[in-house]
Chain A
């Protein structure tokens, strides 16, 4: 659906059906190079049709890029609109908080890198205001944390407004290592861009590649062979498995519960070595390509995987048991960092964060892709919305993923189709999206190829993007020593933002 800029808010309001169809993504595009102007795309997940509704607002090339902000009616749009403001110079009128998001104080005011006229190699220096949101008052103080942390993690600056130990407000300054991937892939062939897309983030490597490849496959109209989909499914579930198991251990690190930290790391290592046996690297890169997969799962690899899965399943059950019996841990995890269902819906949260707050969503089921429609699994939801609920969702999904991999391995033995569907020819100047459920939630890619078949625009919305703002809400009312635990329960990714 196409609308004029001034009609965007009204149209978005209709598309969201009173919040029943969540805002999946919102992004801009500079279409001046093929005769258009600027565009803002809003993607809504249509829960009834199991599809994505695309709303496009077209701006004339010479216009002032003003439009009525969606944030006042759809809070989930807040970050997207700040990013639109930074990257393209769109001005969402009445946006309650239009501070810079991606571009920090070292960039000039009128710098909008995703416009086509900006040269990617330009040496840009400047100054702009970047203010943190803080509370002021008698006896209140600020605690700045980061961007460099004591652990080996990515950079992020957190500013706590404190009343004693209690957190009144938290503001996060992220995007420190933004790599401009969306800009860098423009003009590259889909095959070249694939290598970059695989490296957006280590822990969601498969999910990113899967979304990207599906978007391309839709443009070619060709079907991916069944065997390739089985192997893709196994890879995607293996990724979920090693993430969830590692995160279970990490959450225990948040409260200093040492035995489970070591158990989690050990099980994760077993799975990473399985990955290495399958793809030659620990993050399953190079396995999934547009049109299929590159490597087969041989009989011996399948056996190896089955053995490893049994071991992981048994030992993970031990972890589940230990945690269930650890009163001290339960005391820390229950009622800590609560996200209510309303907040989850308003912010259009995805993945574990949403499911732990009672939002029944999983794009493997809601927007079925690949073979998920014929591989039944349960979507695990909890209603408490606290740290423990998020842990329980992960625990449930570990069991589901193991079952899914076993089913897929069984089907794989009876299947002798090809690994690849052959040469793909892509439609140009047509938008296309691909989605996949990563360990952190739905991962969406939207792309368009230019007349030469190279990337015109690639938009990447990984699962961490909608969930980051929820962290700042979850910590309100908790005390600052509980922050690491709450943070780990969301397990959000910095690299996924710094795309």
Chain B
């Protein structure tokens, strides 16, 4: 399919929309969580204020860091933006580029650079965070590929657009429900959510994703946080498009998935670090069952 200038325009519009709404979705997750936990919580726009605040602050670099430290957040941000562009276009154009393997590869590139930057400062926390991040991603990746396989088998395509569910139909089959649960578990693990990681904690020793960011400040920190929020939104959209078998408008599905994240973060506590493999293995087994059921 040839690429039109209009397609490019719609793609840009989609990326911009996701970029602008990512802090809002993150704010909504926090707000719902606060309400569920008997707290009033901060405004749903708080994430925008935080980004603005960090943007105003100077970036402090230790003399021990190299160029990697500055490049990594940018690569991370760019990788998530590219991933956002690769999502099936929700303005209705048929064009999309790259298949799901490229999608996963791009996201992994960003993660790889963040891990490099965590080692770059040579602090104990950075190294710990980097090692835990890799430990989880190594286990999560094969499971993600399995999730992709389930959809690829059904739709006979490995492009994200080809794999998307039909909005109008309801897919309440055993396979689709199992895949839905399994991908939701993956979504939590990939985005550093409870029960795998705790995004709200101040306890450095228990952190995974946040542990790698401890040396960042100012604009670089803003870039990383924005990228992380965008990544969460990209996963929520992907979950809604590909795996949530309900015939509802996309925005409603995304909000539903975001609420489900808040509920999970209230119901569950963080698991032992070495139990994460059991958790991810469980997601993998659900997916295998889904393939069999399909």
Binding site for B on A (CB under 8 A): 141-145, 149-151, 164-165, 252-259, 261-263, 266, 326, 328-329, 331-332, 479-484
A332 touches B271 (CB 8 A): yes
Which residues of chain B are near A482, meaning CB under 8 Å? 272
B265 touches A332 (CB 8 A): no
Q: How far is the CA of A441 from the CA of B273 in the complex (A)?
A: 32
A331 touches B272 (CB 8 A): yes
B204 touches A150 (CB 8 A): yes
Sample (8) of A-B pairs whose CB atoms are under 8 Å apart: A256-B194, A256-B200, A257-B268, A257-B269, A258-B200, A258-B265, A331-B275, A332-B272
B124 touches A142 (CB 8 A): yes
B38 touches A259 (CB 8 A): yes
A256 touches B275 (CB 8 A): no
Kindly identify which residue among B36, B37, B124, B200 contacts A143, using a CB–CB cutoff of 8 Å.
B124
A262 touches B38 (CB 8 A): yes
Which residues of chain B are near A484, meaning CB under 8 Å? 203, 205-206
Q: How far is the CA of A151 from the CA of B195 in the complex (A)?
A: 21
B124 touches A255 (CB 8 A): no
Query: Would you give the shortest CB distance from A14 to chain B, in whole angstroms?
Result: 44
Which residues of chain B are near A328, meaning CB under 8 Å? 195, 268-271
The 6 lowest CB-CB distance pairs between A and B, nearest first, are: A257-B269, A256-B198, A150-B202, A143-B124, A256-B270, A255-B269
Q: Does B6 contact A (CB under 8 A)?
A: no
A151 touches B205 (CB 8 A): no
Query: Would you give the shortest CB distance from B37 to chain A, in whole angstroms?
Result: 5
Given contacts A259-B266, A331-B275, 11 further A-B contacts (CB under 8 A): A143-B128, A143-B205, A151-B203, A253-B201, A256-B198, A256-B270, A257-B268, A258-B265, A259-B36, A266-B38, A328-B268
Binding site for A on B (CB under 8 A): 33, 36-39, 124-125, 127-128, 131, 194-195, 198, 200-206, 265-266, 268-275
Q: How far is the CA of A256 from the CA of B131 in the complex (A)?
A: 21
Q: How far is the CA of A254 from the CA of B206 in the complex (A)?
A: 9
Which residues of chain B are near A481, meaning CB under 8 Å? 205-206, 272-273
In the complex where A256-B200, A484-B203, A484-B206 touch, is A479 in contact with B273 (Cβ < 8 A)? yes
Q: How far is the CA of A221 from the CA of B272 in the complex (A)?
A: 56
Q: How far is the CA of A141 from the CA of B273 in the complex (A)?
A: 19
B37 touches A258 (CB 8 A): yes
Residue among B37, B125, B127, B265 with max Cβ neighbours from chain A (10 Å): B37
Kindly identify which residue among A165, A255, A262, A332 contacts B37, using a CB–CB cutoff of 8 Å.
A262
Which residues of chain A are near B33, meaning CB under 8 Å? 258
Which residues of chain A are near B37, meaning CB under 8 Å? 258-259, 261-262
Which residues of chain B are near A164, meaning CB under 8 Å? 131
Query: Would you give the shortest CB distance from A304 to chain B, in whole angstroms?
Result: 23
Kindly identify which residue among B124, B269, B273, B275 contacts A329, using a CB–CB cutoff of 8 Å.
B269
Q: How far is the CA of A454 from the CA of B275 in the complex (A)?
A: 59
Kindly identify which residue among B38, B202, B269, B270 contacts A151, using a CB–CB cutoff of 8 Å.
B202
Which residues of chain B are near A141, meaning CB under 8 Å? 124, 127
A254 touches B36 (CB 8 A): no
In the complex where A145-B204, A151-B202 touch, is A326 in contact with B269 (Cβ < 8 A)? yes
Query: Would you give the shortest CB distance from A180 to chain B, in whole angstroms?
Result: 31
Q: How far is the CA of A69 from the CA of B275 in the complex (A)?
A: 45
A256 touches B269 (CB 8 A): yes
B273 touches A255 (CB 8 A): no
Kindly identify which residue among B201, B205, B269 contacts A483, using a CB–CB cutoff of 8 Å.
B205
Which residue on B lies nearest to A488, using beta carbons?
B203
Which residue on B lies nearest to A252, using beta carbons?
B269
Which residues of chain A are near B266, meaning CB under 8 Å? 258-259
Which residues of chain A are near B269, meaning CB under 8 Å? 252, 255-257, 326, 328-329, 332
Query: Would you give the shortest CB distance from B135 to chain A, in whole angstroms?
Result: 9
Residue among A255, A331, A479 with max Cβ neighbours from chain B (10 Å): A255
Which residues of chain A are near B205, meaning CB under 8 Å? 143, 145, 480-481, 483-484
Q: How far is the CA of A142 from the CA of B202 in the complex (A)?
A: 21
Kindly identify which residue among A254, A263, A332 contacts B203, using a CB–CB cutoff of 8 Å.
A254
